[in-house]
Structures are given as C-alpha cells and as structure tokens.
Amino acid sequence: MPRRLPIRIPQTADELTNGWLTEALAGTASGAQVTAFTTSEPGAGVGFSGLTVRVDLTWEPTDPALPETVLAKFPTDIANNRGLVESEGSYDREFDFYERFSEGFPTRIPQLLHAVRDPGRAWSSMDRQFRILNRVPDWIARLIGRYSYKMVRPTKRRFAMLLEYVDGARVTPLDEVPPEADLQAILGTQALFHAHWWRSPVLRDEAPFAWRTCSQVPHILNGAYAVHRDSVVAQYPQHLTPSVMRFADWVDANLTAVVDHLNDKMAFLHGDARSDNMLFTGSDSGEGLVLIDFGMVSSGRPAWDVGYLLSSTIPPGPSARSELLRLSADYHAGLVAAGVTDHSLEQFHNDVDLCLGVQVHRMILTAAIFVGEGYGDATLAELWMQKVIDQLPQEFPVVGEVVPEGAGARESAQPGLGSGAGRERLGTLGQRTGVHRRCVDGGGHLP
C-alpha cells in the first residue's frame, strides 16, 4: 500500500489549527495569518459519506483577498459507511473532479481552495480486484454481501478539502418538495453540462471516469440483495409489495447488464443529483444554482442524473408517473436545444426507467446496510422508496437500444406501478407499445 504523506492532515474539526489553516489558505508567501477560528454545522445537507464543517476565520492583518468563511470536508467517522464509500471511490472522485474541472465548469460550483490526500492504490490494482469480485461464485457473493460491513473496511488514508462557503444559500432536503422553478433550473443545468461533454474523449480518462456509474461490483450487490431482500421486505411491507418486488427482482437478475448499459460514456454525470446537493443563492425560486458534492462523479447515460434527481424529488401519489415523464421530457428538450440530436426521447425515457429500477434495488440495500441519514421520523431509504415506487413503469424497460415505431408511444397517462391502479394492471401489459428491442439483454412484461 502507498505510504502516508509525511505531513499533518486534520480529519475532524477538532484537529484544525490556526497554523494549518494559514498554510492551506494563504501559503507561506502571504503575511496574513489565521489568529482564531470557530466551527459550526454548515446548515444544509445530511449524509453518510463525509463530515462537513463551516469554518469562520479571523485574519491578522486583514486581507480582502482571503476568505472569511470556508467549508471543510473530511471523511465520515462511521467506519462501516466509510468502508462502503471508499469502495466506490467517492473521496477520490471528488478530489479528482475539483482538481481537474473546477476551472471552467459550465455552471457554478464552489471554488476549490485547498485539497490534500494520502496516495491511494493504482487504478489497475483496484480494477483487477473488481473484475475478480464480479466473477466469484454466487455463494461467495452472498457471503460478502452478508458481511460487507465487516469485509469492506476503511483505509487509513487521510483526506481534507477546503472549499468556498456558499453563504445564504437555500437547499431543499429530501423530506421536502422543491419548487417547480428549482427543478426546471436543475434539469436545464444538467442538460447544459451533459451536452458540453457529449461523447467527449475526456470521458474515457482514468481520473475520475474509470469509476463506473451505479456500481463497480454488481455481482456483489446481487449477493447482498439475496441475503437481505426478505428481511427488508418484512420491514417495509406497505411499500415493497409483491408487484414492486417483481420489478426489483427483475433488476437484480439483470443488474450487470443494466450497469453496463447505463455506463455507456455519453455524458459527464454529477452522479449524486439529489435536491440537497443543489444550492440556490437567488432571491426567487430557480435563481443562482450552485452544484455541490461530486463524490459520485462519473460518465454514462444522462438518464442516470435525471432519474436520480426526479426519483428523489417528485412526491409520491397517483400523478408521480406522469410528473416524471413531463419533467423528463423537459430535460430532453433542453438537451436537444443544447445541440444533442443523437439521443431519442424514447431511448431516454427507457433509460430513466432503468435508473428507477436501480434506485429501488439500492433502497433495499441501503435499508439493510447503511447507517445514519435520518430525516425526522424517516430514513433515506423510507423517503426515497415511497417516491420512486410510484414512478415505476408498469412494464420492464429494455436493457439496450430501443427503436420507436411512432411518435408519442408512451404509457404517460397510466399511473406508476406503486399506485393502486398500477397494481391492478400489473401483468396485463406486454412490452412497451411502439418500442422494438435491439441488442437486448432483458425487457418485456411483468409476470
């Protein structure tokens, strides 16, 4: 394993010092020094992947070029969560993103002020490990899935990042519904930066794009799902009905093919496009969008960002499915307006449905494995599960390319799978009307 850097790197707010902050922010060339600082919670966002701290600084002498407040980011102190987060490269992805793309990103992001981390393993070593894990026998995958919280151990690497503090920003937590203007602003911004790098050779660079969309080890997720499925269903019977679980089981059976499909390197993906990772600084809804938290940045099909956002923001209910299709179409119109003409609306909607299925699968695993992420009386899994289930299609999507036969061939007027009407219609529909499969590894009607 690579050795630690021979320098001090704080890992909590308590380990910050005047000297370290001075060197990180002003350097040795400046005569100004941090003489005092206070720390507090930043006031936005709830997470299991890291610790974020607001740091208010006192400089002597004062210098308007130096920040008065910064945001400090460290790894989570929950060992179980950290091991799982590191296995998906989240800390390295965010560092790679800011170090490579913070200058000239097509929409506003916090300015990177300082970043330092211990060296990690070479990508070739990690890639070899992922390939081995995706080929292990099923019983080993189940064993790893059962004891993942013990087997996926955190490293001793140190990470510390200082970012511009976006003061006075408004954020919509997961247990609230963002205004329509906010959603439209986010979707429009996604369309712009997806189009900006559309099918760019940059998306094949190792850092940070070697990390795959959704998961590095879908076979291990299959094992975890097999182990935890029934206990989570027993915990949430009101949400995980037989019809929903038929959809989740179909995703699990096709997970490797779904991940491969969604990983097609079409666009630059934020990867964690929840409403609480979107700050608004304007006085009115939809104004002053700032994107934050790039720990899941990757490249892949644009539906991942859009499906991720809408599955976490559209409130549950009979209209959830039609709202999903309406807002997805709005995004696609923005993508076309930005110059992308080789990605049809039918294909995009199909890919969004695949993303919804992956989210249900993820929520089952999240409920079983992750610690924290409380939102009042609910957990992240509960809140997200309720929303995404009512957005599910009544038919299995296609794992591959779709060929539309005619305009408007969608079941947009039908309720989602989680609604009462959707459950009644389950199993009565064949493959989506007006769509042919091509190079397909799945698809068809729900049994």
- How many domains is the chain partitioned into structurally? 2
Q: How confident is the model at residue 3 (pLDDT cuts 50, 70, 90)?
A: confident
Please check whether residues 62 and 104 belong to one and the same domain: yes
Closest CA to 65 of 112, 109, 25: 25
pLDDT greater at residue 44 or residue 123: 123
Is residue 383 predicted with pLDDT exceeding 80? yes
Global pTM? 0.89
**Dihedral of CA 18/19/23/26: which sign?**
positive
Ordered DSSP codes for 12-29 = SGGG--HHHHHHHHTTTT
Range of the domain at 38: 1-120+155-167
Q: Does residue 186 lie in a domain region?
A: yes
Does any domain span residue 336?
Answer: yes
Would the pLDDT of 428 be above 60? no
Do 68 and 210 share a structural domain? no
Could you tell me if 371 and 301 lie in one domain?
A: yes
Answer whether residue 424 shows pLDDT above 50: no
Residues 332 and 424 placed together within one structural domain of the fold:
yes
**Looking at the domain assignment, is residue 127 inside a domain?**
no
Q: Is the pLDDT of residue 264 over 80?
A: yes
Higher pLDDT, residue 315 or 404: 315
Do residue 94 and residue 146 come from a single domain? no
Q: Directed axis angle between helix 255-262 and helix 345-369, to 10°?
A: 130
Q: How far, in Å, CA of 185 to CA of 313, rounded? A: 14
pLDDT at 408 exceeding the cut of 50: no
Report yes or no on 289 lying in a domain: yes
Give the pLDDT band of residue 427 (cuts 50, 70, 90).
Answer: very low
* Span 186-194, average pLDDT: 97
Is-contact 293 178, C-beta < 8 A? no
Dist. CA 143–CA 140, nearest whole Å: 5
90 and 144 together in one domain: no
Tell me the pLDDT band of 342, cut-offs 50, 70 and 90: very high
280 pLDDT exceeds 80?
yes
Q: Specify whether 114 is located in the same domain as 141.
A: no
Q: What is the CATH number of the domain that holds 115?
A: 3.30.200
Task: State the pLDDT at residue 28.
Answer: 54
Q: What is the pLDDT of residue 120?
A: 94
pLDDT at 406: 54
Q: What is the pLDDT of residue 208?
A: 94
Q: What is the pLDDT of residue 36?
A: 97
Q: Which amino acid is at 260?
A: D
Label residue 115 by pLDDT band (50, 70, 90): very high
The amino acid sitting at 359 is Q
Residue 84 near residue 369 (C-beta atoms within 8 A): yes
The per-residue pLDDT for range 230-258, each reduced to its tens digit, is 999 999 999 999 999 999 999 999 999 99
CB 130 within 8 A of CB 215: no
User: Does residue 105 belong to any structural domain of this protein?
Assistant: yes
- In terms of domains, do 342 and 323 share one? yes
The pLDDT score that the predictor gives to residue 378 is 61
| CB neighbour class for 114 (10 Å; exposed up to 12, middle 13-18, buried from 19) | middle
pLDDT over threshold 70, residue 439: no
pLDDT at 403: 78
Q: Which residues lie below 8 Å from residue 334, measured CB to CB, with a gap of 6+?
A: 187, 188, 190, 191, 192
pLDDT at 29: 57
Would you say 398 and 440 are in contact if contact means Cβ atoms under 8 Å apart?
yes
Mean predicted lDDT score pLDDT of the chain = 88
In a domain, 128, yes or no: no
Range of weakest confidence among 32-36, 64-68, 100-104, 281-285: 281-285
Task: Name the DSSP class of 176.
Answer: S
Q: Clarify whether residues 423 and 322 are in a common domain.
A: yes
CATH of the domain at 266: 3.90.1200
Which neighbouring-strand residues pair with 34?
Answer: 59
> In this structure, are 114 and 241 located in the same domain?
no
pLDDT of residue 27: 67
Residue environment code for 269-292, b if the CB has 16+ CB neighbours within 10 A, otherwise e: bbbbbbbbbbbbeeeeebebbbbb
Q: What is the mean pLDDT of residues 133-146?
A: 96
Same domain, 282 and 160: no
Q: According to DSSP H, which parts of 197-296 are helical?
A: 218-235, 242-253, 255-262
In which band, very low, low, confident or very high, does the pLDDT at 128 lie, cut at 50, 70 and 90?
very high
- The confidence score (pLDDT) of residue 320 equals 97
Least confident of 42-56, 63-77, 339-353: 42-56
Higher pLDDT, 9 or 441: 9
Asked if residue 334 belongs to a domain, the reply is yes
Lowest mean pLDDT among 146-155, 240-249, 349-358: 146-155
Does 436 lie in the same domain as 380? Answer: yes
